[in-house]
Amino acid sequence: MARDHGVIGSAAPAAARQSGRVPWLLIAAPTAVLLLFFALPNALLLSASFVKSEAQQLTNELTLENYQFLFTRPLYIWAFIRTFIVGTAVGAIDVLLGFPLAYFLVRTRSRWKGLLIALALAPLLASVVVRTYGWYILLNRYGVANDLLVSLGLLDERIAFMPSTGAIIVGLAHALLPYTVLTIMGSLQGINPNLEAAAMSLGASRTRTFFHVVLPLSFPGIAGGFILAFSIAISAYATPAILGGPATQVMATAIYGFMTQLLDWSIGAALAVILVVCAVTLAYAAARLGARQAAL
Amino acid sequence: MSPWAALRAVVIYVYVFMLGPILITAAVSFNASNRSQFPPRGFSPQWWQRAFSAEWVEPLVFSFKLAALAALISTALALPLAFGLSRHRFPGRAAIAALTLGPLMLPALVTGVGLLQLFQYVGLRDYLGFSALLIGHVVICVPFGVRTIAISLQALPPSLELAAASLGASRLATLRHVVLPLIKTGIVAGAVFAFVHSFTDVNLSLFLVRPGEQPITVKILGFLEYGFAPTLAAVSVITLALPLVLVAIVERVSGLGDFIYASRSRG
């Protein structure tokens, strides 16, 4: 599979024309669209977060109150903490489940290999809403899990698996697993098989080779997979909205609340800025870790 | 048990975890009762009939149109941008590259909030709905096309163009008869990823909808507040099958495998 290390990043393009002139004809229109509808709204968001707003209109009053508000109310402090717990747990679960699967998919000689890879990645083609809905069917009070446990006599009466932080974690871990698998597969494929052969020819056992050669070499993929799952999980809205409730707010659901129900757009903007800072820091960390193909 | 056999056992459980909820959703949609019983009791196509009523077909068609247009426009923007970035070196190139990848780096949710505020503050609130959604989706889809097309361009040996030029072909003719046919797969792959990304998006769309103009994902999300309905299971299966069929067809006709690494997005 083709890799895209630095395809549009900083690497010097192979067939580049060294004219040094800006190719306006090529880049003017797309750049204008991105500046107008991506850079401008995000700049607006950043400035709105430092301004007081009334009735969805900004005032001229500069203030840090929006941030102060968020960092002093227990409800939102808990939303931050919960968001990070969810992100960490989702990343950890996805690495634990994704590594064995990725290792298997890279190394298997089964003639079903192609189909198995397709099956592992196909869930990416479905919306998170649809995939989370399956967990809703499983976990709600009158859902499949309760039916099963009651009929087996393991439960006396139905219990609520959701709304809960646990349900959000399971749902997101499920939704983001293919990303982690893809990232780890990428780094496993990059390992020179001769290294393993060399370790074994020098007398290392299969297990020793795995722990001392394969695992350390696939660390960028593992870290990249963790960070990718983490950073998508902290900005996910649909799964926490479906499997959580008012008592399990995360940053994404809180932003939605500020924008559509509480109608305090400046605080919503401040919260969005905090989310961006977290996500971009993580993406940068992932790039530094050498797993840039995962983050970009 | 050998380590490999143990690994295989673990992998089976991981597949059950990944595919179980999707299969249960499909099974429940054929339930005879209106509860989420599993295994399903009885067999009834009634929920599927309801899934094909106007209430659900309309947002589905809306999503399809939105995704098709977003894929088309974003690819049209991505093509020259990919050429500019991978064939030219110019001052500010790094900034343009960062701007291009920006929509992938930043959570779509934040871009959605930003666009909503932009539309509100400049008095374009009336354009929320399809127009705003299309703009937002084009923006978050551009990076996919740029990446897949840039990959194709890099794989192209420069000697081919030199050969065409030495045989007297003009630059335009070389582009039309040599370069474009050779990067066709990259263009198609970018458009397909853009379509899927748009069709499955919810984080961005959430903020730009208005009543009667919402994609299927937002519609499902809103409906879930009323609790379980088997109709929703049937709708979910349809929503899930559509991009799957599309990707399967394109994979058959032109191939996507090489570009899978470029397809990774943020939620």
pLDDT digit string, tens, across residues A113-157: 888 988 888 888 888 888 888 888 888 877 778 878 887 878 777
Domain assignment of residue A33, yes or no: no
Q: What is the pLDDT of residue B70?
A: 96
| pLDDT tier for residue A293 given thresholds of 50, 70 and 90 | very low
A25 contact residues in B (CB cutoff 8 A): 80
Report CA-CA distances (Å) from A21 to A15, A24, A249.
15, 9, 50
In a domain, A188, yes or no: yes
Candidate from B84, B142, B196 with C-beta closest to A125: B196
At A163 the pLDDT is: 86
Please report residues of B whose CB lies closer than 8 A to that of A238: 202-203, 217, 221
Q: How far apart are CA A73 and CA A112, in angstroms?
A: 54
C-alpha to C-alpha distance for A214 and A226, rounded to whole angstroms: 18
pLDDT at A102 over 80: yes
Are B147 and B104 spatial neighbours (Cβ–Cβ below 8 Å)?
no
Residue of chain B nearest A135, judged by CA positions: B21
Helix (H) or strand (E) holding A293: helix A292-295
**What are the backbone angles phi and psi of residue A171, rounded to the nearest 5°?**
-60, -45
Residue A54 lies in a domain: no
Res. B262 pLDDT band, cuts 50 70 90? low
Which of A125, A181, A259, A277 best tests the B interface by mutation, with the highest count of B CBs <10 A?
Answer: A125
Chain B residues near residue A207 by CB distance under 8 angstroms: 3
Q: Give the integer Cα–Cα distance in Å for A11 and A226.
A: 26
Indicate whether A13 belongs to any domain: no
Size of interface A-B (CB pairs under 8 A): 325
* B107 closest CB neighbour out of A25, A136, A276: A276
Q: Give the nearest chain B residue to A206 (CA atoms).
A: B3
pLDDT of residue A245: 83
User: pLDDT tens across B75-125, in order?
Assistant: 999 999 999 998 888 888 989 998 998 898 888 999 999 999 899 888 888
Has residue A81 been placed in a domain? yes
**Which tokens in the block code for residue B52?**
């094909």
- Which pLDDT tens digit goes with each residue over B159-211? 888 888 888 888 888 888 888 888 888 899 889 989 999 999 999 999 999 88
Peptide bond into B39 cis (omega under 30): yes
Which class for A194: exposed (0-12), middle (13-18), buried (19 or more C-beta within 10 A)? exposed
Average pLDDT over residues A38-66: 85
Q: Give residue-wise pLDDT tens across range B51-63.
A: 888 888 999 999 9
Count of CB atoms situated within 10 Å of the CB of B131: 14
Which residues from chain A sit within 8 angstroms of residue B257, using beta carbons?
1
B24 at the A interface (CB within 8 A)? yes
Q: Are A232 and A176 in contact (CB under 8 A)?
A: yes
Is the ipTM value over 0.85, yes or no?
Answer: yes
Joined together, the tokens standing for residue A167 give: 């349900």
Distance from CA of A125 to the nearest CA of B (A): 6
d(CA B63, CA A276): 27
Q: What average pLDDT does the structure give for chain A?
A: 83
Scanning B234-253 for CB atoms below 8 A from A yields 236, 239-240, 243-244, 247
Confidence label for A5 from pLDDT (cuts 50, 70 and 90): very low
Q: Which residue segment(s) compose the domain that A258 sits in?
A: 63-295
SS3 A262: coil
CA distances (Å), B237 to each of A19, A56, B22, B201, in order? 53, 38, 8, 16
Per-residue pLDDT at B114: 92
Write down the pLDDT at residue B160: 85
In total, how many domains does chain A have? 1
Looking up residue A190, the CATH number of its domain turns out to be 1.10.3720.10
| Mean predicted confidence (pLDDT) in B208-217 | 90
CA distance A199 to A187: 19
From CA B58, how far away is CA A78, in angstroms rounded? Answer: 39
| Residues of chain A positioned with their CB less than 8 A from the CB of B226 | none
What are the pLDDT digits (tens) for A6-17?
456 444 444 455
Chain segment A176-207, per-residue pLDDT in tens: 999 999 889 888 888 888 888 888 888 888 88
Contact A248, A163 (CB under 8 A): yes
Q: Are A126 and B244 within 8 A, CB to CB?
A: yes
> How far off is chain B from A285, nearest CA to CA, in Å?
12
Instruction: List, in sequence order, every residue forming a beta bridge with A32; answer none if it has no partner.
Output: none
More confident residue, A54 or A247: A247
Who among A4, A21, A232 is closest to B267 (CB)? A232
B residues 36-75 closer than 8 Å to A (CB): 36-38
Is pLDDT above 60 for B31? yes
pLDDT at B141 over 90: yes
Reported as a single tens digit per residue, the pLDDT across A223-279 is 888 988 998 999 899 999 989 888 889 999 999 998 888 888 889 999 999 999 988
Asked if residue A15 belongs to a domain, the reply is no
Which pLDDT band, with edges at 50, 70 and 90, does A24 fall under?
Answer: confident
The two most distant CA atoms of chain A are separated, in Å, by 77
